[in-house]
Each structure stands twice: as C-alpha cells, then as structure tokens.
C-alpha cells in the first residue's frame, strides 16, 4: 500500500526554504508524521518509564520483553523516542507534582514524532473526592500537554479499570498502539482497558490472519482504506457498497483478493445477506466495520424530511438493524468484533449538520450500549470518530475553509484515510480484546469538542 501523502503546504514547510520561510513569518509548521510501516521497528530510540509503583516496574519489564531500550531514570540530554508515565496509584492531586515535573524535564529530549503515554485509572462519581480529582486531573494534563508538543509528537492516555494492571494484555495492546505509527493522527485521547484481555500471543505483523471482515461503504475513500488495511493485516475482506458503486467496489475487492457484495445496507435483510455471503464465500464472519455513511447538509430551518430521514436511515438505523441480525445468529458468537465509524461532528456538533451529528452521536450511544450485549461471547464493539480527513469530499471544500480546517488541531494538518483505518484495524484485532465500548477520536486533537 502506498504511503499516504501530506498536503502540499506540509510538504513545503517541512524542509529547506519552506521551513525557513514559515519560521520567519510565524506560519504553522506541521511535521511529516511517522505513520505505520510493517517493516520498521516499533520505536527508534529509548523509552523512559516514569513511575515508582509496582505497576511501573512490571510495565518496564514487559517493554523489555518487546526488545525496547527502556530507561527507568532520565539521562540528561539523552534523546527519547517515548515517555510512559505510570500513575496507576495516584490518590490525591498533590501527588502529581513530582512525576509530572519529571516528565517536563525530559520534554526537550523527546525526538520528533515522539510519544507520551500515561497509564492511570478512571474517575467515578462514587469515589472519595480527592481520589476522583486526582484521577480526572490526568485527563486535563494529557490533553493540555498534547497541545504543547511539536514536531509530530503526541500525548495520549490509557485508563485501567479495576483489576487491570499496567502490564495486563489489554493495557499493553493499547500502549503498543499509541507508541506505534498506527496512532500518528491520534492525539490527546484516551482508551479504556476495561478487562485484562489476552488469550495468547499476538502476531503484531499480521494480527488479523485467519479472520473474515466485512467493511461497508468500501468502494472509495475511508472505506477502501479500511479494506486495504485489514487485508494487509491478514484478514479476508468482504467489501460492501451500493450497486451504483459496483465498478469501484470490484476494483477494491480485486486489489486485496477479497470479495465484493453489492448491497443497500438500509434493506431490511441487509444483515442476513451479509452473513449469508460471508459464510458462503469464506466460511465465517469475525469482524464487521460499519463505515457506510452519507451527508445531506442543511440548516435545520431549511431541513426537509427527506434529508433528515435519509441520513438517519443510513448512518445509524441500518447499523442497529444489522447488529440485531448478527447478534441473533449463533455463527457470529465466537469473539466477534464490531467497529463503527462515528465523527467528531457527533461529539462537538457542526453548523448545518444537525441530521449528521444526531446520527453520529447515535452511533456513539449504540456502541456504548451494545458492548454489554457482546461481552458474553467474548466480543467487543468500539467506535472511531474521524476529524478532518483528506478525502475526495474534503478536497471539494473551498480553499480557504479547507486550509483553516486542516490547521485547527494540535498536529496542524489533516489526517489520511489510512489513519482512520489503522485505528480500526487495531480495535478489530484480538490484541484489543479487553477494550470495548470506547470511542477513539482520530482527529489530531481538533481544538473544538475535545
């Protein structure tokens, strides 16, 4: 798969005359991001593990097992590929000072495209106030730190549910995702490791080998990138799209040696037809990616029933109906994985998109409620919420508006369809078995609707 290309401005200011000019004029200087390369090492440089708890010690040992160059104490002026801050036992806001200032002292040593990841525990209303304040304080710390980093570096966090230790399989899987190039456009975000996870060794090179995945809306754009990425990671892919996109759909399916299914997902029997095709052609179904979606933008004062109903029918009602069909079929009960594509519009809202934002917020609500229904089968469901992604649709936005939208995030650039696909591929893998009901934003930490 060809490497995604940065926008022309990012390419121009990343080197030589363009870099000098942007610096002199005070213009944004987005970095070329380190994206996933299956042939490249996870990190190229030392990892500093900050923290004094047994969990920090156990995590450092686990990272040594990955072949990483681990430091437990910073060496002045030694360049670092990543800093992992373990706050699993923090109990009062006053306990922040020492570990956080220690990280601050090492920030100037962080290499371009470096990673900072925290491991802490979620706050809850029933906790003692000081404990809840300390735990939720990590949220503000990470999101603010992410906005201070430069040169393509990111900061993200992992929340450890009760009974999940820093070296649990689910925590390590989330950590590996955040450390890798798969998370290049994920910044200022959290994943919750809600269960220990695990169940055997993971083939990190091809984690989806032997799995069969369905991707809706696969004919072009983000859907095509998802299909390609799942296939690269070892999955047999069923590419689904409407008959009108048949030629593009066939091209995608042929390129990845998958199969194509022309289908209107709003049909009452769409779920059953997907199951029939997957089992007839591949003998199983393990992963469903709900990517298909439409927009019909209008201010609410001008919104007609056709625009509203069409968006809700495709973007959320079809997913609910198909999921009901999948859950009702015992053949989909062997550790199934569902990943839905939501949107930052469903989190922050967007002018002229009341219908679209309602549908994508609905996806988020559906995902959180469905997690409990999949748990008895060892299954998971998560959502990925893209921000500004470089697609054919965003290329049609007027130039000035498009440029502003690109720069309104901590990484000062748009993401690529592959960025969304990498997050989905991770959540669809067995490595993420302990992660369910999450909503992961792939938006470069867009400044609106954190």
DSSP 113: E
β-pair partners for 156: 117
Q: What is the DSSP string of 286-337?
A: -EEEE---------GGG--HHHHHHHHIIIIIHHHHHHHHHHT-GGG-SS-E
The pair of structure tokens assigned to 337 is: 């994985």
Q: What is the dihedral of CA 250, 253, 254, 260, to 10 degrees?
A: -60
- Concerning whether 377 is annotated as a catalytic residue, the answer is no
The pair of structure tokens assigned to 407 is: 């720069």
**Separation of CA 106 from chain center:** 27
**CA nearest 49: which of 96, 93, 99, 95?**
99
Tell me the H-state helices in 8-151. 8-13, 16-25, 54-65, 97-106, 129-148
Residue pair 383/363 in contact (Cβ under 8 Å)? The answer is: yes
Length of the chain in terms of residues written: 450
Match 């002199």 to its residue by tokens.
24
Distance CA 224, CA 217 (A): 8
Residue pair 434/169 in contact (Cβ under 8 Å)? The answer is: yes
Q: What is the dihedral of CA 427, 200, 287, 42, to 10 degrees?
A: 40
Distance CA 154, CA 354 (A): 31
Distance CA 208, CA 106 (A): 37
The pair of structure tokens assigned to 288 is: 């469903």
Question: Phi and psi dihedrals of 301, rounded to 5?
Answer: -60, -25
Residue pair 273/245 in contact (Cβ under 8 Å)? The answer is: no
Given 356, 366, 415, 442, the catalytic residue? 356
The pair of structure tokens assigned to 418 is: 């592959």
**CA nearest 222: which of 417, 2, 388?**
417
**Separation of CA 332 from chain center:** 24
Distance CA 364, CA 357 (A): 11
Q: Residue 147, exposed/middle/buried by CB under 10 A (0-12, 13-18, 19+)?
A: middle
Residues designated as active site: 356
């Amino acid at each position: 798969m060809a490497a995604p290309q940065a926008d022309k401005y990012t390419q121009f200011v990343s080197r030589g005359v363009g870099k000098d000019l942007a610096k002199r004029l005070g213009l944004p200087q987005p970095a070329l991001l380190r994206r996933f390369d299956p042939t490249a090492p996870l990190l190229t440089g030392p990892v500093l593990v900050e923290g004094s708890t047994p969990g920090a010690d156990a995590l450092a040992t686990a990272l040594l097992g990955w072949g990483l160059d681990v430091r437990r104490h910073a060496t002045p002026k030694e360049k670092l590929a990543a800093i992992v801050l373990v706050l699993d036992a923090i109990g009062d806001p006053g306990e922040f000072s020492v570990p956080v200032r220690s990280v601050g002292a090492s920030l100037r040593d962080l290499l371009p495209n470096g990673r900072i990841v925290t491991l802490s525990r979620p706050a809850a209303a029933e906790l003692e106030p000081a404990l809840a304040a300390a735990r939720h304080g990590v949220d503000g710390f990470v999101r603010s730190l992410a906005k201070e980093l430069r040169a393509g570096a990111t900061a993200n966090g992992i929340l450890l549910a009760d009974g999940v230790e820093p070296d649990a399989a689910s925590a390590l899987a989330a950590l590996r995702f955040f450390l890798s190039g798969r998370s290049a456009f994920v910044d200022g975000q959290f994943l919750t490791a809600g269960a220990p996870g695990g169940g055997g060794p993971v083939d990190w090179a091809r984690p989806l080998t032997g799995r069969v995945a369905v991707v809706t809306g696969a004919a072009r754009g983000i859907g095509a990138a998802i299909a390609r990425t799942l296939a690269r990671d070892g999955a047999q892919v069923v590419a689904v799209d409407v008959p009108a996109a048949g030629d593009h759909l066939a091209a995608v399916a042929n390129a990845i040696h998958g199969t194509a299914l022309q289908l209107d997902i709003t049909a009452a029997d769409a779920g059953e037809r997907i199951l029939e095709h997957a089992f007839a052609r591949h003998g199983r179904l393990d992963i469903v990616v709900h990517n298909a979606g439409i927009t019909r933008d209008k201010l609410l004062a001008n919104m007609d029933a056709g625009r509203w109903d069409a968006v809700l029918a495709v973007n959320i009602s079809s997913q609910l109906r198909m999921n009901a069909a999948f859950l009702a079929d015992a053949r989909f009960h062997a550790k199934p994985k569902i990943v839905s594509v939501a949107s930052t519009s469903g989190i922050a809202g967007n002018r002229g998109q009341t219908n679209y934002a309602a549908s994508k917020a609905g996806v988020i609500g559906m995902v959180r409620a469905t997690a409990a229904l999949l748990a008895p089968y060892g299954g998971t469901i998560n959502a990925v919420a893209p921000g500004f992604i470089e697609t054919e649709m965003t290329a049609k936005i007027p130039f000035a508006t498009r440029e502003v939208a690109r720069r309104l995030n901590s990484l000062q650039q748009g993401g690529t369809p592959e960025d969304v696909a990498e997050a989905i591929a991770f959540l669809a893998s067995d490595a993420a078995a302990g992660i369910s009901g999450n909503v992961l934003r792939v938006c470069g930490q867009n400044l609106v609707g954190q």
